[in-house]
A = this chain, B = another copy of it.
Amino acid sequence: MFSPDLLPATRSAPPAYPLVSEPADLSQIFVRQPIEKLQPGEAVFCEADPATDLVQVTEGCLRRYRILPDGRRAITGFAFPGDVLGLASMDQYSYTAEAVTPVKLRRVSRRRFHALVDDSAQLRPQLLLKLSQEMTAAQEQMILLGQKGAEERVASFLLTLARRRGDTVAPVEIEIPMSRLDMADYLGFTIETVCRTITKLKDAGLISLKDRRTIRLCNVTALQQQAGEADENSV
């Protein structure tokens, strides 16, 4: 969901051009569309629905998930402002997208989106970049789920959230929009394990809780080690 090496490229998104006919940026495709609002728990679209639209998140946080045959819920990712949902969908959506917080978003038809992108030599590489970022994020998540233990997963998650929301580099205090259950279903754990792990990180002095949804990262370097991230400063 977050590929540190690739993020800088996103930042390079130019400020809104006064374009008429040809968008210079993927976001431009959405910018004229009306804002839709969702309350927490409302779905944008559901798994297996025909994939008619793409949406760009303007405000808030969504979860993307699938329900397994036995009822378990697997959250495959969260979406934040600027993210586009449905990019990699072809025929049907492969997951349900649902508001975690109150959400504002803009919608365009998949047909129109792809027509615009397909016509623009500017936009085509931007789409590929986005897809490649999604792939990188998915690979990171595969590694997290396949190889890492509880403290590594939770530390990674918090750092990822911090990078995602912290447009500033230093805030070190992050607002967690989702519930412990959401975190658990994303990290491949139970609520209880997520709780206990947060407690451990707190007791170790790596984080502190302002309230249950606000976490301060006290020692980012130690957290990165805990997360199993190579410390690039130490080279």
Contacts and interface: CB of A to CB of B under 8 A. Distances in A.
Interface in A182-227: 186-188
Interface string A123-151: 01001110110111011011101110000
A35 interface: no
Contacts of A187: 146
Interface stretch (A54-62, A63-71, A172-180): A63-71
Interface string A35-48: 00000000000001
- Interface hub of A70, A89, A94, A142 (most chain B Cβ within 10 A): A142
Interface stretch (A1-9, A13-21, A22-30, A100-108): A1-9
A92 interface: yes
A10 to B, nearest CB: 9
B138 A135 contact: yes
A145 B186 CA distance: 11
B131 A135 contact: yes
A81 interface: no
A68 B229 CA distance: 8
B132 A89 contact: yes
Contacts of A128: 90, 127, 131
A88 B132 contact: yes
Nearest to A118: B124
A5 B88 contact: no
Interface string A150-179: 000000000000000000000000000000
Interface bin, chain A: 35 or more
Nearest to A94: B136
Nearest to A186: B146
Contacts of A8: 91
Given A121-B118, A142-B141, A69 B230 contact: yes
A132 B5 contact: no
Contacts of A127: 128
A95 interface: yes
A228 B69 contact: yes
Contacts of A138: 135, 138-139, 142
A112 to B, nearest CB: 15
